Amino acid sequence: MRWLVFATVLPWALAACATTPHATVSLDTETLTPAEQAWRDTIVPSDQALIEDLPSIWTHVLTTAKKRSGKAIDAEGPLLQADAALDHPALPPGSYWCRVVRIGSIAGRKQIESFAPKFCYIRDEEKGLSFTKQSGSDLPAGYLYADGTQRYVFLGARQDAPGDVSLGYGIDHDRDVAGVVERVGAFRWRLVAPRDGGKGIDVYELTPVPADLQPS
């Protein structure tokens, strides 16, 4: 009897499927990983706006800078290409060379300025990966939050002295640093942080320091 009922109902069901559109399910919220939720819960609205607008900020700053320093910008290769991000952006813990390339009006008449490499350090901590610039005059330190398959979000603050990591993100907004970290080549990463409300960007080129050259 059950097979007879099924055979009777089946043609009607197939006819309904042929004439009735499939229902579309839409979700108002996306599923976030704990790290993605963490940086969204931590970041201040003005910095989040800069992170979301970073592609357009990058395009505008580079277009303007290329009018005066096109060869210098092209010479940096993928480091300054907005679409150069690769998969697997996680940085292995250890010591890195940090070379800052500053672009925009904050870099002076040529719109680009490259500084000598300094030491930075990536540490695997209980909270996650931390980033600390250990030498030089500009000393951001903070945490990296995984965000998708091609980037981390960095939230930190500029410290008073080398080795000092006491100032956390969100305590003094004038010293906060928010940016994204991406891998742009073999053993080559970049931390991109907007400056002056998006009028310029700092690009930290990160490359591992050979074991025999690492600071004690």
What is the chain's pLDDT, residue by residue, as a tens digit (216 residues)? Answer: 433 333 343 343 334 444 444 333 333 346 889 999 999 999 999 999 999 999 999 999 999 999 999 999 999 999 999 899 999 999 999 999 999 999 998 899 999 999 999 999 999 999 899 999 999 999 999 999 999 999 999 999 999 999 889 999 999 999 999 999 999 999 999 999 999 999 999 999 999 998 888 776
Supply the pLDDT for residue 30: 63
The candidate with the shortest Cα–Cα distance to 185, out of 94, 108, 76, 68, is 76
Query: What is the residue-wise DSSP string for 148-183?
Result: SSS-EEEEEEE-SSTT---PPTTS-GGGEEEEEEEE
